[in-house]
Structure 1
């Protein structure tokens, strides 16, 4: 969650509290903060929320955990929606993480020796502007019916949990640490008593955490850890540095060795790991790295020249002593970086990304598979060790299942995980609610219907695509609205005529300028004037004003930014 988004709920609460003060329902706070909270709670206690949907929109899923002795039972860890469980292969789901103090799940693990023991690491590990943090690790001993908070509160983001195959009280946790700054509570933690106590067994520095862990299924004292140096700032993201690397322990975490022997030279970034079950000497790594040579740039993108791409898929056949680069495929590593090898076929490799990429030649060549037809942006994949035809995939569109080795996918459209970035309402009666969703466009629905079933899925209608953000409704004409997607792509929508027109402002260079490129925020601020319903304001690095509902624009400011290098 970026800083602006983190403040927004407080702003809304403040505005609501101001309205209550003005109405006499809530006196201005003169005592302690606790007294103010109590007064606000009393004033709002009569408010009741009701769900209006949409109920079939999948949202951003960070992790899957499957009970391998019964694959019809699995858990879905959601970036902002808690933990969901199915016991019938996804026909129905139950929300099993409702009463905890965080709704952001980054890692889930089921103890192989006892499926009633489930571990949850909170805080999404992916590096978004909207990545929420959590408050440590939770443990259930009754298959998710109840939870105990077992510590690591200040780790904020958990990347992976690995549980000992025969002892459910022994677990290792990959703690990524704070996204927005340095902190010491990061690295690999170990517990041997079910979370009653923790030991930090691998620590690099206050800027570097652990993003992934792989445990040898035949020798649980052997683990591989991917360390990741990262920091997000208000103006950009810095992922990678000298702290990143791959480490190995052969004594359960007492000692660690940093691995090299063919891994990229120079700085690395995010790394994903997997071990081939049929031969645990074979380790796969998906590595983000600097390019090497002229024109180098991080992640292999730079100023051109003859830079040699070091990012991509690496394989070791000697438990990490030496590595071979197999390919340079690595789609947007800061957001994905999961690699999975078929437990029954080391030639079959899958990579998460905007598409799901698969290889049938051991990782040398990759092609997008059919998962693109159900949704984009894939973060988690499970392959059934007893049946390689059976896969479960999760990402920004929820959960999908394949029964033919990823040739076809079926999307489970029964998880209400839609993630609204912004919402708005119009002035008709009953009023309509509109909003922009993560990776699911912009949608609207009436707040009430004549149906005794309430607001149904069929009552929702689409008004925009992409990542949806602000939806702004005209105050007197409910058929006119503005819908926005990422990067300042704004459309004026005429609902009555079913027409959409792009009104994105264009910067026009002056005679003295060769170029005047605009810089847009991921979610671009747009405001319809309260004083003149034809006046619209849109903010890039320059503020624009339109007096004709976006038909034309004028610049009313200079560059409002500091033009800070986003990679610093």
Structure 2
């Protein structure tokens, strides 16, 4: 991917939360396109230009994908980025169900250290902060206060609203939004797939986010809270047995005394009256690929029984239609109904709704309260794989109220684009990532009043005759947009964050409101709200008041705040740029946009920051990217500078690629792609040409971790990185380019043949290094050389290694850190563990929910440990309190 020096693109990546199991999408099953959102005022046209260069899917070995060579298609790169997150946890094989559940139980049994975590990011995060209006920021786009991705919503008529996040659990507000409280922290899965209130007022939770992204963890089943105004979910509230453990749940629907669940392993049902007893498998199109089946170990198995939604006839609950199918297409995709006791694909009578498998992908249904109408959104595999503009088949209505139709198309991507959408450029139009972005709901008081969510929010009040883009994709590009630094969102009104996932309609103080959940959190407006002349809503309110912290961090950086005292804390986020929290801040700002990858911060000056976007697209600033709002492209007035090493231009780097400074010399930086890159100008670097390649791993190999101390560099690589021939290795050399050599790591040697995710170098001895290993041991992994263990130690510069995992549970390890006193902290997918100096056993640090911790750093004085979680923000703990 070629990233321009100035101007960025907004990218959608997927959720992760701890739970039962994770399975990678192999090349033969990978999506034709992932989700990609343009970022910033200067990049809509740039994205469109890139997408014109490549139609359809990225190159794939799948005979069912119509693939052209990828020449810079950003959406394809997002699918690849999603795959890569899963590869780290699954390669070299397929993970058996139950791995995360066992790890969580074992982790909870570890003795706990003293000390407690302190949440640093439980305060508002303003993406429109006027202090940070660098051209590469998101400021004035209109999303306002944001948090992490919301996958599902539910609301009642008493002002209660429930928000299920991708990685940070379920939250409750008693005030129509705001003053949130977490209510699912006791569960072993913090990933939400579905939320629903039944007729008795009970709140049902389906765990496991079902956006079919490769880096989404699976869930631990379905739970029900009888009195959701009080209390919270617990493991004892699980419905049925373990039948839905290790699945994702797309929707929960009710009818005929049953709750129906559309899952990644088919459609299941359970009585809503008697909650004990097993779930019943209603339909799986390819049962041989289910766990225990004859082909359960096939790499394509996780994509052979995808169920997206269930439509139940309100007049006759025995009549049910199932929407089945993998987003990229398969022979089993389609709509199914039961005939003579057998589920059969519907091939006639659907009207405009496709009957051919190529036309049915991700589907969402919605029914009017009076039962007179059914609506549906359909994403088309054929469109996904061949149309550079959109993957949307359309929005449809069944005016008979029956889910069997006949169905009439009431919207397509061209029509939605013409209704004052922000997505009107060839190559990027409404529904371009409809496999990922979908919601649909009907106003309970009006069967013709519908809200639909794709990248944007759309509304029709006449049953689809006309549409308004009430939640446009950012303010950039509209005539109302202004860069006046005194104006929070220019002359435009607030708009929801892009990429819609959840929707609910409820009442607050007797007034009907609609809630939407997206990659930026939760937003609300009156159901019958106001619009401007363009049809854009003028009355959206962000409900992300800081009490709901579901921010999904990849990284964290800490430096002294020379202006205000204390420290400046910054970190890279999924789809929410880079946050910055200064010493005296009551509100976090966002000084960079897009996805935030790795972060470097000068310990001596917290305004010296390097932030990675993706694929080593690195920006650097020496003033926290503060400017006067002028958005200048004049280099002499710039507040940030693009300094990407050359592997960025050729996309020869991981989506989130490793970046580090030398422990002994903060002006020496190391970046890893196909090459190991070094630059020695520190935060004074101003051009990507200042990087020097000191080692080439070779074609098809990319760095997974880098670390350096005193000029000695350790670099881990993989290639291939998926479970189709996975290989890994370590190279060691010097920052001046001398002494580079590969370390012998035989496939069945001490170090497992799994993804090598992080190094920790002893600051007192560069030959003493620790290695964190991702994935699961061979007990759970069917793959060559999976081995055992997650933490390894070398005292001879990497020549030989010893497994020091000891009592550490079998859980993916993401990074490691040697503390100033010789202790060792390791970040895992389920929290942080610590080994005190001179000890061999591990302890659990504090009490975090079941959330992944991706990176650990210490502060300028070395006395505080900072943890970047992917779903619950940034936490800190005093190291002295651990003993």
Q: Same fold (TM over 0.5)?
A: yes
Structure 1 position 191 matched with structure 2 position 292: no
Aligned to 1:133: 218
CA distance, structure 1, for counterparts of residue 472 and residue 548 of structure 2: 20
CA drift at 1:333: 1.6
CA drift at 1:6: 7.3
Please give the residue correspondences for 1:331-346 in structure 2 after superposition, counting only pairs within 5 Å. Answer: 331-346=432-447
Aligned to 2:393: 311
Aligned to 1:27: none
CA drift at 1:466: 1.8
Return closer, same or farther for 1:279/1:105 CA change in 2, 3 Å cut-off: closer
Aligned to 2:504: 382
Report if aligned partners of 1:109, 1:163 keep a CA contact under 8 Å in 2. Answer: no
CA distance, structure 1, for counterparts of residue 574 and residue 452 of structure 2: 22
Aligned to 2:380: 289
For residues 274-310 of structure 1, give each alpha carbon's deviation from its aligned partner in whole angstroms, at most 9, with x where no partner exists. 2234454x4322222244xxxxx635426x9xxx987
Structure 1 unmatched runs, 5+: 11-32, 178-185, 231-238, 292-296, 450-454, 509-515
Return closer, same or farther for 1:316/1:356 CA change in 2, 3 Å cut-off: same
Return closer, same or farther for 1:388/1:544 CA change in 2, 3 Å cut-off: farther
Report if aligned partners of 2:597, 2:612 keep a CA contact under 8 Å in 1. Answer: yes
Aligned to 2:193: 106
CA drift at 1:564: 9.7
CA drift at 1:123: 0.7
SS class of match (2:245) = helix
Aligned to 2:347: 260
CA distance, structure 2, for counterparts of residue 350 and residue 518 of structure 1: 38
Structure 2 unmatched runs, 5+: 1-15, 17-21, 25-83, 91-102, 125-145, 290-303, 414-430, 474-494, 530-536, 627-638, 702-718, 724-883
For residues 516-560 of structure 1, give each alpha carbon's deviation from its aligned partner in whole angstroms, at most 9, with x where no partner exists. 742554323222233543333334455543333453234442433
CA distance, structure 2, for counterparts of residue 363 and residue 37 of structure 1: 51
CA drift at 1:201: 0.8
CA drift at 1:46: 0.4
Aligned to 2:517: 394
SS class of match (1:335) = coil
CA distance, structure 1, for counterparts of residue 114 and residue 378 of structure 2: 53
Out of 160, 175, 187, the residue aligned to residue 73 of structure 1 is: 160
CA distance, structure 2, for counterparts of residue 105 and residue 34 of structure 1: 17
Structure 1 position 158 matched with structure 2 position 249: yes
Structure 1 position 328 matched with structure 2 position 415: no
Aligned to 2:362: 270
Out of 308, 320, 333, the residue aligned to residue 244 of structure 1 is: 333
CA distance, structure 2, for counterparts of residue 301 and residue 89 of structure 1: 40
Return closer, same or farther for 1:266/1:213 CA change in 2, 3 Å cut-off: closer
CA drift at 1:35: 13
TM-score by length of 1: 0.75
Report if aligned partners of 1:542, 1:560 keep a CA contact under 8 Å in 2. Answer: no
Aligned to 1:13: none
For residues 404-453 of structure 1, give each alpha carbon's deviation from its aligned partner in whole angstroms, at most 9, with x where no partner exists. 5352211112342332322334354844432112222212336xx6xxxx
In the alignment of these two chains, the number of paired residues is 493
CA drift at 1:245: 1.7
CA distance, structure 2, for counterparts of residue 493 and residue 346 of structure 1: 52
Relative contact order, CA 8 A, sep 6+: which one is greater? 2
For residues 323-350 of structure 1, give each alpha carbon's deviation from its aligned partner in whole angstroms, at most 9, with x where no partner exists. 3444332341221122334445455443
Out of 544, 557, 570, the residue aligned to residue 434 of structure 1 is: 570
Return closer, same or farther for 1:416/1:87 CA change in 2, 3 Å cut-off: closer
CA distance, structure 1, for counterparts of residue 581 and residue 248 of structure 2: 34
CA drift at 1:83: 1.4
Aligned to 2:621: 493
Aligned to 2:261: 173
Of 425-434 and 403-412, more deviation after overlay is shown by 425-434
CA drift at 1:188: 3.0
Return closer, same or farther for 1:553/1:560 CA change in 2, 3 Å cut-off: farther
Return closer, same or farther for 1:519/1:7 CA change in 2, 3 Å cut-off: closer
CA drift at 1:120: 1.0
TM-score by length of 2: 0.50
